[in-house]
């Protein structure tokens, strides 16, 4: 079966070769002049909410290695150390190519369930109490897993995570934008027809270049009419117009990334006035070369403009990070003390679509943690 989402990008084997040819070192960019140790221990214990993290992109190396061993023909390393090299990107298209090769490892409902529960364990280990996980049902359905089985697998993992780990998970079903309208149709159908209990929002991810947001206007309108929140990616790898399009054509209530808003004072003022939160993922933006370094990240400009800013991890193991590290990065970039870091955590909870009792519980936990010193 031809997979248009893969055909549109370099195949899995071009990733490591490209990396070697260009000899780029991710670590050099990521540690520039930032003291990430100062609050690291305190952040590790802080109760948190994660709003922008991708299901497949959150797969820890141990989980990916297990899947790679089950499916050796996919050509993904089954060794954790080799995986670290494999996950080193030259640019955004390269990242998408590697991401899709990991996606190819998920071939049956048990793979989906194991992946999802593995991600939940990673979040739980970082004191994440509530997370909205972005799931791309089309990508699994297109690879031959029935929609019903995908939904059943993630819902089973969600219930287990809440029961066994005390972690509350919710889903954002997102359209992989590079696969166009057919993918949007399948995503919407899965969301509305199967309507899993954990589903709270409808999203749009993948590359922005060549994927205009307005083409998905009707899909977002239908999702919103069914009560789902609109949370598209926009302004990650293209300019502020993409964020305007997400707001006007897709009714965005939160923006995935949105960092390009820093280039447009009118957009900054609009986002600040309407209290539309941005899901900022600093390390991801450097890893995909959307910004040249952490020190040059527009996060401080977004905060200075009065925007509602949350900090998130996007595809943490692929970017050699996790949510705790992203909080440390934000604390360094914004020169935050503990009270400031706690406020960042509260902002994520308030910007979430968590059930009110869950949000209240996590906010209370954050207050108590801060008060305890």
Q: Which residues are catalytic?
A: 236
Selected from 93, 155, 208, 314, the binder of Zn ion by CB under 5 A is: 314
Which span sits near Zn ion by CB under 5 A: 63-71, 102-110, 307-315, 336-344? Answer: 307-315
Dihedral of the alpha carbons of 165, 171, 177, 181, in degrees to the nearest 10: 140
Task: Write down the least CB distance from residue 312 to Zn ion, Å.
Answer: 8
- CA of 128: how far to CAs of 45, 235, 254, in Å? 9, 26, 20
CB nearer Zn ion, residue 314 or residue 326: 314
Task: Write down the least CB distance from residue 315 to Zn ion, Å.
Answer: 7
C-alpha triplet 288, 252, 128: angle, nearest 5°:
60
Which span sits near Zn ion by CB under 5 A: 64-72, 115-123, 296-304, 308-316? Answer: 308-316
Rounded CA-CA distance 368/311 in Å is 21
CB nearer Zn ion, residue 39 or residue 170: 170
Which span sits near Zn ion by CB under 5 A: 24-32, 144-152, 211-219, 309-317? Answer: 309-317
CB nearer Zn ion, residue 66 or residue 317: 317
Task: Write down the least CB distance from residue 365 to Zn ion, Å.
Answer: 26
**What sign has the CA pseudo-torsion 298, 274, 199, 349?**
positive
- Asked if 132 is part of the footprint of Zn ion (rule: CB under 5 A), the reply reads no
Quick count: other Cβ atoms within 10 Å of Cβ 73?
A: 6
Which span sits near Zn ion by CB under 5 A: 28-36, 213-221, 312-320, 361-369? Answer: 312-320
Task: Write down the least CB distance from residue 302 to Zn ion, Å.
Answer: 17
CB nearer Zn ion, residue 208 or residue 314: 314
Nearest residue to 31 (alpha-carbon basis) of 303, 283, 256:
283
Strand partners, 310: 279
CB nearer Zn ion, residue 93 or residue 314: 314
Closest CB to Zn ion: residue number: 314
For residue 318, the Cα-to-chain-centroid distance in whole angstroms is 11
Task: Write down the least CB distance from residue 134 to Zn ion, Å.
Answer: 6
Which H or E element spans position 347? helix 338-350
Q: Are 344 and 327 in contact (CB under 8 A)?
A: yes
CB nearer Zn ion, residue 281 or residue 336: 281
Task: Write down the least CB distance from residue 234 to Zn ion, Å.
Answer: 11
Phi-psi region of 115 (alpha: psi -120 to 50; beta: other; left: phi over 0): alpha
* DSSP code per residue over 231-269: EEEESSSS-HHHHHHHHHHH--SSEEE-GGGGG-HHHHH
* Site residues (vs Zn ion, CB under 5 A): 314
């Amino acid at each position: 079966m031809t997979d248009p989402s893969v055909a549109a990008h370099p195949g899995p084997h071009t990733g490591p070769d490209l990396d070697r040819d260009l000899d780029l070192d991710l670590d050099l960019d990521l540690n520039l002049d930032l003291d990430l140790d100062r609050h690291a221990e305190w952040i590790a214990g802080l109760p948190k909410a994660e709003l922008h993290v991708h299901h497949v992109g959150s797969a820890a190396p141990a989980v990916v290695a297990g899947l790679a061993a089950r499916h050796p023909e996919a050509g993904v390393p089954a060794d954790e150390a080799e995986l670290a090299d494999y996950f080193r990107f030259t640019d955004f298209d390269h990242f998408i190519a590697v991401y899709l090769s990991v996606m190819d490892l998920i071939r049956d409902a048990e793979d989906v369930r194991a992946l999802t529960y593995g991600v939940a364990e990673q979040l739980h280990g970082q004191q994440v109490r509530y997370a909205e996980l972005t799931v791309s049902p089309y990508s699994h359905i297109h690879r031959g897993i029935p929609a019903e089985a995908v939904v059943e697998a993630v819902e089973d993992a969600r219930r287990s995570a809440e029961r066994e780990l005390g972690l509350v998970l919710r889903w954002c079903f997102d359209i992989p934008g590079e696969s166009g309208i057919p993918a949007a149709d399948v995503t919407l159908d899965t969301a509305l027809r199967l309507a899993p209990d954990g589903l709270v929002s409808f999203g749009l991810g993948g590359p922005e270049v060549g994927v205009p947001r307005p083409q998905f206007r009707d899909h977002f309108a239908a999702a919103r009419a069914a009560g789902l929140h609109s949370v598209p990616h926009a302004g990650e790898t293209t300019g502020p117009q993409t964020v305007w399009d997400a707001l006007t054509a897709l009714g965005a209530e939160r923006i995935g990334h949105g960092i390009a808003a820093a280039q447009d004072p009118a957009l900054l003022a609009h986002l600040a006035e309407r209290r539309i939160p941005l899901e900022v993922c600093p390390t991801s933006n450097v890893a995909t070369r959307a910004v040249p370094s952490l020190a040059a990240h527009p996060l401080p400009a977004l905060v200075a403009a009065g925007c509602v800013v949350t900090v998130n991890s996007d595809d943490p193991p692929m970017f050699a990070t996790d949510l705790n590290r992203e909080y440390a990065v934000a604390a360094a970039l914004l020169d935050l003390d503990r009270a400031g870091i706690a406020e960042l955590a509260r902002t994520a909870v308030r910007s979430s679509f968590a059930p009110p009792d869950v949000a209240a519980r996590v906010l209370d936990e954050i207050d108590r943690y801060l008060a305890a010193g």
